[in-house]
Structures are given as structure tokens and as C-alpha cells.
Amino acid sequence: MSTTEAKQVEAKMIPIYVMGKKYEVPESLTIMKALEYSGYQYIRGCGCRGGVCGACSTVYRKAGDYKIYSGLACQTVVEPDMYLTQLPFYPALRGTYSFETLQGTPEEVFALYPELFRCVACNACTKICPMDVEVMDYIAALKRGDIKAAAEISFDCIQCGLCASRCMGELPQYHIAQLARRLNGTYLTPPAEHLKTMTANIDAGRFTEGLGQLKGMDLETLKSTYQEREMEPAVGGEDWTPKDSQHL
């Protein structure tokens, strides 16, 4: 018996229900791993497996509890008698636009997403968000025309679409938030001076020699070089690249 098989034998098994069918799985698994343990294959709805991409949105109910819970299958650990299902990509409408023609005004957001004003402030969107984003708050900010506030509040949105699945006003909140962040980053946020400096360094070939050395290293030397690298604090507006960067 392999080490992995031995650990599975030792693990406490708990019952879960997937699409109404009962399975016994190790209690320490995430929902994603529990589904795979039960024989399901992730053909779609599985991306980064690290809680970032939002592809594995899941809704579930606990035994004896009326409440519908939500989470990411790659991050949420199974519980005994959990009833769960995977959500397909939610078909929320996304506005069509040429970003280069926009100017970063609230009126542009209103024109692309007039359903914004259908929001009844029920807060169901916030309650289902697996990232604890205050969804209703950024929608309220956009209704006031405050794109920057909406971009900041929605910063942790991972585009899973669960908010749209519960919306009484049928808003595609996550698409609207994405537009707000794009407008804020392009038109409302001053360009970072240190980015100009770094771009100039790249264009001048400052890192070409160092990158060539890194590419030629064997794996162990590369690991050692990474662990021993010099770290310097980043200072906005200044040349904050390592002093010896061309010899990394």
C-alpha cells in the first residue's frame, strides 16, 4: 500500500451529497478534491485551483440549515452531510464597447449598464460573495458616479458571477465592476513614475545580461540565487531596481 493510500485509509470519512447522490470522502478535502475523489472530472469550472480565478463557484447547504452558502470549490473544506452543486458560468450580460473610445465618465457606465439603477439594495449580492466584497456598496458608488470608489471596493472581485445569480434587479455586477476598475486604472489614476523608469530600463537593455545568466543556470543554482537575492524596498518615483541587477 502506498503512502497516499495509507493516509486515505487513516483519514476520517464523512458523507456529502453531490447533485443529490451520497458519497463518502475524507473530511480534510476541499470540495474540489472531494468531487474528484468521488469520481467527478473537472472539464470546465476549474482554473487556478488557488482561489484567484473564480471559475469554481459552488453553492451548498448544510444538514438542518435552510441557508444557502457559497464558496470556491478549491478553497472550501467539506463538512458532514453537505449538500452541494457546481454552478455553470452564469450567463450575465456584458456590455459591448471599444475601450479606446471611452473617457472614464460615469455617463459611459450608465449607458453601457442602464440596469445599474434596477438595484433595490437588497444586499443579496454581498451575502453570496465568496471574497467578502461589499458588492452592494460598489454598485451604490457607481450610481453616485464615483468610479474610483467602486474600483477600490471591488478590488478583490474574482469574476465568479455568484453575485449576478442572486440579484433581484438582474444586474451583472461583476462585469460592471470590471469596467469600473479598467476606467479607474486607465483614466482616473495618475501614471506611476517608477513604471516609466522601469520601462526605460527594459528598453535600454539593462536586464538583458542578467536574464541571460538566469536562463543558463541549473535548477539548484537558480533556487540558491533566488534565496540569496538582495531585497531593496520599492520607492515610488525613484529607480528602485537592485543595484547589482545586471549580475543576478
| Tens-digit pLDDT profile for residues 76-118 | 999 999 998 877 677 889 999 999 999 999 999 999 999 999 9
43 and 113 share one domain: no
Domain range for 58: 3-86
Distance in angstroms between the alpha carbons of the first and the last residue of the chain: 45
Q: Which CATH number characterizes residue 25's domain? A: 3.10.20.30
Residue 58 falls within a domain, yes or no? yes
Interhelix angle for 135-143 vs 173-183, to 10°? 60
169 and 235 share one domain: no
104 and 168 share one domain: yes
Averaged pLDDT for residues 205-212 = 93
- pLDDT band at residue 144, thresholds of 50, 70 and 90? very high
Sort 146 into a burial class: Cβ within 10 Å, 0-12 / 13-18 / 19+: middle
113 in Cβ contact with 147 (< 8 Å): no
161 and 213 share one domain: no
> Whole-angstrom Cα distance, residue 56 to residue 166?
17
Q: State the cell numbers at 59.
A: 453553492
Q: State the cell numbers at 116.
A: 445599474
79 and 13 share one domain: yes
- In this structure, which amino acid lies at residue 227? Q
Give 37-73 pLDDT, tens digit per residue.
Answer: 999 888 777 888 888 888 888 889 998 999 889 889 9
Number of domains the chain contains: 3
Residue 16 falls within a domain, yes or no? yes
- Of 16 and 192, the structure prediction assigns the larger pLDDT to 16
User: Model-level pTM?
Assistant: 0.71
Q: Which CATH number characterizes residue 105's domain? A: 1.10.1060.10
- In this structure, which amino acid lies at residue 205? G
CA of 49: how far to CAs of 32, 39, 144, 161, in Å? Answer: 9, 18, 36, 17
